[in-house]
Amino acid sequence: MSRLTIPDENTRHHRLLGGWRDVLDDIRTTCRTLAELPDVCQCGNGAAHLEGTCPCCGSTADERVPSCRDCDEQLARLRPAMDGLTVDTFRFFPFVKELLSKQNAVASTRVLEIETHIAALVRSFDQLIVADGEFRDECRASHLKTLKDSAAALRRDAENLNRIV
């Protein structure tokens, strides 16, 4: 979360907020992958399902549903970005809020709104990780639904944050 480029004639893409767009793209990809998982898993083995060795995933078209191994890899790739977002929020937002509260009340309110949306995003990600673990351990249909619902909530919170940023 520390990459910031200064635009010049050689810069093709501008990244603000230290790579927020990269994080958002990763969240979108992960949530889309989880949403496209089969609605029913009858193998009874959540670990196999998420490792791509489950017959439930094997019966679906590969071009529509990526290998389940990708689910675990995508969640693992998201973890450092989410941890960085949390650390940056705790590290810098108190200072920014303090500074803006003295100089610009409107901007200060906006920062509080952004902070609230970041907290919701982090909570959604944590809930997705818990849902992933529950599905992996017990592989019930209700756990698969919770996993997919958690991914949808994460996507919704990421899009909400993106709208205000």
Report the 10 Å Cβ neighbour count for 149: 15
pLDDT at 7: 45
- Interval 149-162 mean pLDDT: 94
Q: How far apart are the first and last CA of the chain?
A: 15
Hey, which of 67-76, 79-88, 125-134 has the most confident mean pLDDT? 125-134
Query: What is this structure's pTM?
Result: 0.72
Tokens of 74: 């995508």
* Cβ contacts of 40 within 8 Å, gap of 6 or more: 56, 141, 144
C-alpha–C-alpha distance, residues 165 and 138, integer Å: 38
CATH topology of domain 20-164: Four Helix Bundle (Hemerythrin (Met), subunit A) (1.20.120)
Domain boundaries, the chain: 20-164
The rounded percent of the chain whose pLDDT value lies above 70 is 68
